[in-house]
Amino acid sequence: MALSLYLDHPSWLHRRHPVAKVLALGWLFVAAFLLDHPAPLGLLLVLVLAATASARALSVLHQMRWLLLPVFVFTTIIWTVFYPATADGPVDRWVAFRYGLGMALRLETFLATGFVFLATTTIEEFAFALSRLGVPYRAGFVLTLAFRLVPVFLDAALTVRDAQRCRGLDFTTGNVATRIARYAPVIVPVFIGGLRRADQMAFALEVRGFSAGRPRTSLPRPGMDGSDLLLLGVGGAITAVVVALRVAGIGRLVAQ
């Protein structure tokens, strides 16, 4: 089962230094978070989509459409419907709709940026960037292990479910509580298998020197180049503009 979004082909975004990509990702998240007007948020999303297309990574957004489309539709509708009334009078539905649209575009920007990051950055690069930014090595490694293990556990769970179906366990009838109770014969073997695997992995990690206590090294990595600095500069500039607009009170739907 493939859970990885990484696209293994060369592109300008793949080649960027992982630290530059993580920082640029952070800049864009901050910018999207500070905006609530659909127009600048839409512009930001268009920029992200353009970067995605130029990195030949649009397929990842297509792959995740099952999440992106419902989030967009439901966020717009829910905020439009539940936009709060104020003491000044009834809810202006046009403002409510624009606010809902803004929220949906903000979430889409978060998601799309994250997906494109994962499509162009290996988990090891991500962990490396985190460690360079001060996150403990072990925390970054746990992240890489999670990406490695999730498909393994899902695969084990599907196998166990099949094994129990072969013994007449029916997951399709009965009320919700009954169906949940029927998952015990699946959960127990998956859980115990998980513990055994965790033990084996701990052994294997120790054998590979995980606790050697020496300064860690890695394959040679090129340092940041001019393109990386440009990426950082563009991301920083966008965020700086957004902060300035926010401070000036320009382009906001909801006054703070």
Partner 1 sequence: MSAAAGRADGPPLVVRDLTCRYADPPAQALAGVSLDAAPGELVAIMGASGAGKSTLLRCINALVPSLAPAACDGEIRLGAQALLGAEVGRLGGRVAMVFQDFEAQLFSTNVRLEVAFGPGQLGVAPDEIAARVERTLALVDLADFGGRDPSTLSGGQKQRLAIASILAMEPEVLLLDEPATDLDPIGRRELYAALEGVRGGRLVLLAVEHDVDPVVRADRLILMQEGRVVATGPAAALVQDVELFLACGVRPHDLAVLGRRLGCVLPLDVEGAVAALRARGLPAAAAACPPVEAPPAPPASGGAATPAAGAAVAGRARRASPILEVRGLTRVYEGGTRALDDVGLALGAGEFVALIGQNGSGKTTLAKHLNGLLQAQTGEVRLAGADLRTLPLERIAREVGYVFQNPDHQLFAATVADEVAFGPRNFGLAGDALAARVDETLAAVGLTAERNEDPFLLRKGERQRLAVATVLAMAPRVLILDEPTTGLDYPQVRAMLELLARLRAAGTTIVVITHSPWVVVEYAERALLMRGGRLVFDGALDDLLADEPLLRSAAFEAPPAARVARALGISARTVDALARALGAGD
Cβ-based nearer residue to partner 1, 79 or 126: 126
Cβ-based nearer residue to partner 1, 42 or 185: 185
- Nearest approach in angstroms of CB 119 to partner 1 is 13
- Nearest approach in angstroms of CB 245 to partner 1 is 40
Angle, helix 38-54 to helix 93-120, in steps of 10 degrees: 20
Cβ-based nearer residue to partner 1, 86 or 155: 155
Cβ-based nearer residue to partner 1, 84 or 215: 215
| Residues that bind partner 1 in the complex, under the rule CB under 8 A | 4, 6, 8, 122-124, 144-145, 147-148, 151-152, 156, 159-160, 162-170, 184-186, 188-189, 192-193, 196-197, 200-221
Amino acid at 178: T
- Nearest approach in angstroms of CB 9 to partner 1 is 11
Output the 3-class SS for the chain: CCCCCCCCCCCCCCCCCHHHHHHHHHHHHHHHHHCCCHHHHHHHHHHHHHHHHHCCCHHHHHHCHHHHHHHHHHHHHHHHHHCCCECCECCCHHHHHHHHHHHHHHHHHHHHHHHHHHHHCCHHHHHHHHHHCCCCHHHHHHHHHHHHHHHHHHHHHHHHHHHHHCCCCCCCCCCHHHHHHCCHHHHHHHHHHHHHHHHHHHHHHHHCCCCCCCCCCCCCCCCCCHHHHHHHHHHHHHHHHHHHHHHHCCCCCCCC
- Nearest approach in angstroms of CB 16 to partner 1 is 18
Cβ-based nearer residue to partner 1, 59 or 86: 59
- Nearest approach in angstroms of CB 3 to partner 1 is 10
Cβ-based nearer residue to partner 1, 42 or 114: 114
- Nearest approach in angstroms of CB 17 to partner 1 is 15
